[in-house]
Homo-oligomer: A and B are copies of this chain.
Amino acid sequence: MTHQNGHSSSEKNLDIIDSPDDHFQDECAVFGIFGTPDAAAHTALGLHALQHRGQSATGIVTFDNSTAQFYTHRGMGRVSANYHDPSVMEGLKGSSAIGHNRYATTGENSLRNVQPLEADLDLGHVAIAHNGNIVNYPKLRSKLQKIGQIFHTSSDTEIVLQLMAKSLKENLIEKLNDALAEIVGAYAFVALVNDSMIGIRDPNGLRPLVLGKLGEAWVLASETCAFDIIGAEFIREIEAGEMVVIDQFGIKSHRHHPKTNVFNCVFEYVYFSRPDSISDGVSFYERRKHIGMELARESHVEADIVIPVPDSGVPAALGYAAASKIPFELGIIRNHYVGRTFIEPTAQIRHLGVRLKHNAIPTIIKGKRVILVDDSIVRGTTAKKIVRMILDAGATEVHLRIASPATKSTCHYGVDTPDEEELLANNYDHSGMVNYLGCTTLAFISIEALYNSVSTTQNLLHGSTTQQGDTPGYCFACFNKRYPIEIPAKADIRKFPDN
């Protein structure tokens, strides 16, 4: 017996002319700030900077120290649409706050699943926001239901609240520790627990979380670009397996899990993180440019111009052009006004093959041998269209170069991936892909070259000594199926992690 929720009728329209972006889709953003007036406004700004990680819903919970009260706003849609109303912001009183952006997966999009989630526990109030996926959530949920716990959301984040509620510890932080001891997965949490703010990162560091400071206030965020928007200073990453507890007496750190191998999600380097966010002292823009250079070295081809698929392919294309000495041209223009919905196409309109989002400039493409660079290929639907568009614009050859290896497996750690049978690389061999995409040649960067281009400084920093396969320090499971955390049996897999 299942249950479906009828209240979110506003969700039903999807972008129906353009196929949705053919990307792995990140997976939510978290932000928190402790110890500043207008904590909610800072959080709204931080969430705005992290909008690329999730656009379907957003929430903020604040804590007002003077009255010991919590305040909440949660709503569907974007950050700017939710927090421009002065009455909403005035309602979010307090000097500490956490917030969340949610990525839209199909299915349960109702307001009750919008984070931060909250609970009044016996010892106080907890609000928590999550980026990641708790792999053993279905099993834990089922166990807890059997002993009489009622679940109010279909979000795996709730399991943390339920486990805290069942913990026998006499202190909320210890209850939270008890909860973390039960869960397995990839996670970055920010939480308000009574008058403290907490930041937590999973034992393998699969999902990112960084710590910053703005004057005396402490800040937590998924990426450093959320520090830049409010002028906060980057202090350090939260370590894999670390929990920080921030209260009026300062910050305390402890490990909730012993040290183990680190497996940072390599797709943060390829696509998820904003180019201006920084990791280990290097921006993702530079890393992607460097990946493009490696790609050029691995898959050189004679050509006249290098054109990126904007915006995600631009850094790698710049790197490719630099390494190959082939001129870079912005030969495709992207229309940034595309909303989430548009007119329903009639047969007549569908037939047009409408280009809502991208348009090629024929005057610079005509008669040219084009190297077309994108960051990744998932189903291949968009790439196929864009190759066609470049050829229609008069290119004599289209050499498609992809700044990541071919994606072959589902992510179980908080990233929305299609069914494996939908992935292009699972349906065709190399020549089949070339044929399907209609390009002259096709090359993906190799796992090794990608590893080299991202790992330069990383290994040293994380001191990863144990080697799991060929990519110490990173998770490449979507390319090579080497899952660093055991994944559940087929039956227990949730199709759509929400965080």
Q: A residues engaging B (CB < 8 A)?
A: 1-7, 9, 13, 36-38, 41-42, 44-45, 48-49, 51-52, 55, 68-75, 78-81, 83-89, 91-92, 111-112, 118-122, 124-125, 145-146, 148-152, 161-162, 165-167, 194, 225, 228-231, 274-276, 278, 281-283, 285-286, 311, 314-315, 318, 322, 327-330, 333, 335-339, 341-346, 348-349, 352-356, 359-364
A86→B6 CA distance, assembly (Å): 12
Q: A229-B354, A330-B318, A359-B225 are in contact. Are A335 and B48 (CB under 8 A)?
A: yes
User: Of B73, B162, B338, which is within 8 A of A7 by CB?
Assistant: B73
Q: Which secondary structure dominates chain A's binding surface?
A: mixed
Asked whether, in the complex, the Cβ of A1 is within 8 Å of the Cβ of B69, the reply is: yes
Bound state CA distance, A422 and B60, in angstroms? 38
B151 touches A148 (CB 8 A): no
Given A69-B1, A71-B4, A330-B314 contact (CB < 8 Å): yes
Known: A38-B348, A194-B1, A338-B80. A85 touches B275 (CB 8 A): no
B-side contacts of A348, CB under 8 Å: 36-38, 41
Q: Find chain B residues with CB under 8 A from A52 CB.
A: 337
Nearest residue (CB) in B for A345 is B41
Complex formed: what's the CA distance from A90 to B480 in Å?
45
Is the CB–CB distance between A13 and B84 below 8 Å? Answer: yes
Q: Contacts A6-B92, A341-B80, A345-B41: A165 and B150 contacting too (C-beta < 8 A)? A: yes
Closest CB in chain B relative to A29 CB, distance in Å: 12
Partner of A150, one of B161, B328, B341: B161
Q: Are B119 and A150 in contact (CB under 8 A)?
A: yes
Tell me whether B7 and A75 are in contact (CB under 8 A): yes
B5–A72 touching, CB < 8 Å: yes
Cβ–Cβ < 8 Å partners of A122 in chain B? 145-146, 148
CA distance A111 to B70 in the complex (A): 18
A470 to B281, CA, bound (A): 52
Q: Tell me the minimal C-beta distance from A69 to chain B in angstroms.
A: 6
9 extra A-B contacts, CB within 8 A, seeds A1-B70, A7-B73, A45-B354: A4-B69, A44-B342, A44-B343, A83-B343, A148-B167, A275-B333, A276-B361, A285-B330, A286-B364
